Structures are given as C-alpha cells and as structure tokens.
C-alpha cells in the first residue's frame, strides 16, 4: 500500500523555525540529519537552542543519521474519525527508534497497517506530497 492523499485538501506542512530549519532544509535535499551536542555527544529531538544535558549553546551540530531504526510503537488510522481528511485511510503513523537512539514519528509507506509490528526494521525515505515541501517517511528496511 502506498500512502495516498485526498486531492484538494491541504496537507499540513512542518512548522519550521530557526532551531529546526536545518533539519527540514536537509529533508528537502533528501538528507536526514540529527541535532547533536558536539561537547557531550547527546542527540536530541526536537531541535533546540541549548543542550539539555550540558547547557552548551554554541556547540550544537547537525550530523547525518543512518536513517535506520526499528518501530518502537505505532497507531493505525482505519476510520475517518480522527484521521486527517487530507490522507486516505487506512494509514499508519510509526514511532521509530533510530540507531542513534532518538525517536521520530512519520508515516510508513508500502506496508499494510496490519503488517506493522513493534521491532520492525525500517529506513528513512523521502516523499514530496505537495509542491511546497518534502517529508521524510519510513519504509521497510531493505
């Protein structure tokens, strides 16, 4: 199953701010980067101006992620109640624990909702559902 959208209804875009802009700009280039503190090597999500571990503000860096991880949890939207109307049901939202240890949510593509399971190896992929932005998504690891 590929992820399908309902024509005519806007897909909500990322909320881009100065802290997370490098992430979404990388996604536009089909690159997947994570924010890390260069001093204490802590990764964090969501992006922020200060390392919550050592409070450094000037050593935050963006490092490439392998984009690989495992499904940590997931929900399936199988009825249109509570689903976002721009997206055709059914669709899944997966919480992926990346190899780097942090977790991100996204849709999973090319997997039926009933086939999703916790622990499933996945990798990042990119999709441009509208002219205005690109999204990262996950697919079954090859």
Partner 1 sequence: MLDEYRTKSYQAHLRPAVDENLIKDNVAIIGIGQTAFSRNSQRDELDLACEAIKNAVDDAGLSISDIDGLEALTLDRVSMPTLIGSLGIPNLRFTSEVSFGGGGACATVMHAAAAVATGLADYVVCYRSLNEASGHRYGRGDGYAEYLSKAPTLHYGYYFPYGFLTPLAWAGMYARRWMHEYGIKLDNTGWYSLVLREYAQKNPNAIFYGKPMTYQDYLDAPMIVEPLRLFDCCVDTDGAVALVVTTADRARDAKQSPAYIMAAAQSIPIETEIQTSYNRPIVSGLPETWYVGQELYRISGLGPGDIDVAELYDPFSFGGIIQLEELGFCGRGEGVDFCEGGDRIRVDGELPLNTAGGLLSEAYIHGFNLIAEAVRQLRGTATSQVAGAETALVTAGPGLPTSGLILRK
Q: Which is it for strands 103-109 and 135-140: parallel, antiparallel or unpaired? A: parallel
**Considering only 9-17, 29-37, 62-70, which stretch makes contact with partner 1 by CB under 8 A?**
9-17
Residue for token pair 């101006």: 49
Q: Binding mask 9-38 vs Zn ion (x if CB under 5 A, - otherwise)? A: ----------------------------x-
Please report how close the Cβ of residue 75 comes to partner 1 at its closest, in angstroms. Answer: 4
- Round the CA-based radius of gyration of the chain to a whole number and report it: 16
Q: Kindly tell me which of 9 and 38 has the beta carbon lying closer to partner 1.
A: 9
Query: Which of the choices partner 1, Zn ion, none does residue 54 contact, using the CB cut-off of 5 to 8 A by kind?
Result: Zn ion
| Closest CA relative to residue 131, chosen from 19, 5, 20 | 5
Show Cβ contacts of residue 112 under 8 Å, excluding neighbours closer than 6 positions.
1, 90
Return d(Cα 115, Cα 34) in angstroms, integer: 28
**40 to 69: interface string for Zn ion, x by CB under 5 A:** x----------x-xx-x-------------
Instruction: Read off φ and ψ for residue 49, nearest 5 degrees.
Output: -85, -10
Q: 127 is in the binding site of which of partner 1, Zn ion, none (Cβ under 5 to 8 A by kind)?
A: none
Residues 63, 38: Cα–Cα separation, whole Å: 10
- What residues line the site for partner 1 (CB under 8 A)? 11-17, 19-20, 44-46, 52, 72-79, 81-87, 91, 93, 95, 102-107, 113, 118, 133, 135, 137
């Amino acid at each position: 199953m590929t992820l399908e959208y309902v024509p005519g209804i806007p897909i909500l875009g990322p909320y881009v701010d100065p802290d997370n802009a490098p992430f979404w700009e990388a996604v536009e280039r089909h690159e997947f980067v994570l924010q890390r503190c260069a001093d204490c090597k802590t990764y964090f999500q969501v992006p922020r101006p200060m390392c919550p571990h050592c409070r450094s503000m000037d050593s935050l860096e963006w490092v490439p992620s392998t984009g690989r991880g495992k499904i940590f949890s997931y929900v399936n939207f199988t009825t249109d109640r509570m689903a976002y109307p721009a997206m055709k049901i059914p669709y899944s939202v997966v919480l992926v624990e990346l190899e780097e240890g942090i977790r991100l949510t996204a849709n999973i593509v090319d997997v039926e909702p009933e086939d999703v399971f916790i622990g499933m190896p996945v990798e990042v992929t990119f999709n441009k559902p509208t002219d205005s932005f690109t999204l990262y998504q996950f697919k079954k690891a090859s």
